[in-house]
Amino acid sequence: MNSLEKLERLKAILINLDGLAIAFSGGVDSSFLLKVAHEVLGEKVIAVTARSCSFPERELNEAVGFARKYGIKHLIVDSEELDIEGFAENPRNRCYMCKKELFSKIITIADEYQLMNIAEGSNLDDLGDYRPGMQAIEELGVLSPLREASLTKEEIRELSLRLGLKTWDKPSFACLASRFPYGEKITLEKLVMVDRAEQYLLDKGIRQVRVRHHGDVARIETGEDGWEKLMKPDLRTEVYAEFRTIGFVYVALDLIGYRTGSMNESMASESR
C-alpha cells in the first residue's frame, strides 16, 4: 500500500468518528493528523495543546499559528508535569505519568464539547522504541489513527508536502523532560537550561538538535549539517561560552549524533 492509499485509509477511519479532540503539539505528525481530520470532519474536530515548562514557547506559538491559519478551533490546557507526584524523580515510566495526566484532561474537554473520541499522532515507526506513554493511551481508549492507517514518518512528511503543510520538514521534537537520564531529578531550573541551550543552537542555524543534560555536562546531539557548523572553531568557542553562561561546566558533542530515544540506550546496556 503506497502513501496515497494510506491517506485514503486514514480518511476512511476518520469519517466514521462522531467528533474528535486531537492532542496537538504542532509537530509533523499531529499537524498532519489535525489537517486531514479537519478536512474530513470540519467543525467536529478541535485541537488541544498542553502548556507546560517542558514545552518550549516557540513550539506553542507554532501550534497556535498552525491552527489559526487553517481556522481550526484550538484550546490550550495547562498541564504541569512537575506537579505530578513522582514525575520530578524521573522514573522510567515518566512518560506514562505525563500522558495519563494530559489525556485525562483532554477527555474532560472532549466531554464538555460533546466529542466522542480522543486521538493522538503517533505513527507506525513509534512502535520501535521504548514508549511507556503508549500504555496510558491504550488504558484511556485514545485513538492513534496514523498508526491504524500504517503511516510511517517518511510517508507523513511526503503527504504533508503534498498538502502544502510547512511542517513537512520540521525537525522532530520531544518534550524537554526527555533530555535527562532516568533517575536524574528534573527541576524547572534544569529545564530552562536545556531550553536556552537548544534555542541558542537553533538560532545559530542548527535545525535538528538535542541538548542532553548530564549534571555539569551538556551533550549535544545533532545531524550532519549541525556537525559541519559546530566544527568551525569560532562557533565552537561561542557555544562553549554561552553554555557556560547557561550553567553547564562541560560541553560535549555526541559522536553518533542525533537519534530519537538515546536516553533509552542505558536500559539496553543494563540488560546485558
- The H or E element spanning position 75 is strand 74-78
Cβ(191)–Cβ(177) under 8 Å? Answer: yes
Place of cell 525537525: 171
Q: What is the DSSP string of 45-65?
A: EEEEEEE-TTS-HHHHHHHHH
Distance, in Å, from the CA atom of 101 to the CA atom of 136, rounded to the nearest integer, reads: 9
Cβ(150)–Cβ(157) under 8 Å? Answer: no
Cβ(42)–Cβ(72) under 8 Å? Answer: no
**Distance from the first to the final alpha carbon of the chain:** 38
Is residue 251 classed as helix, strand or coil in its secondary structure?
strand
- The H or E element spanning position 20 is strand 20-23
Report the residue count for the chain. Answer: 272
Select which of 53, 95, 98, 175 is catalytic.
175
Q: Backbone phi, then psi, for 219, in 5-degree steps?
A: -105, 115
Q: Which residues pair with 20 in a beta bridge?
A: 45, 117
- The H or E element spanning position 22 is strand 20-23
Residue 175 falls in the annotated catalytic set: yes
CA 69 → CA 66, 73, 77, 157, distances in Å?
5, 11, 20, 19
> Residues with catalytic annotation?
175
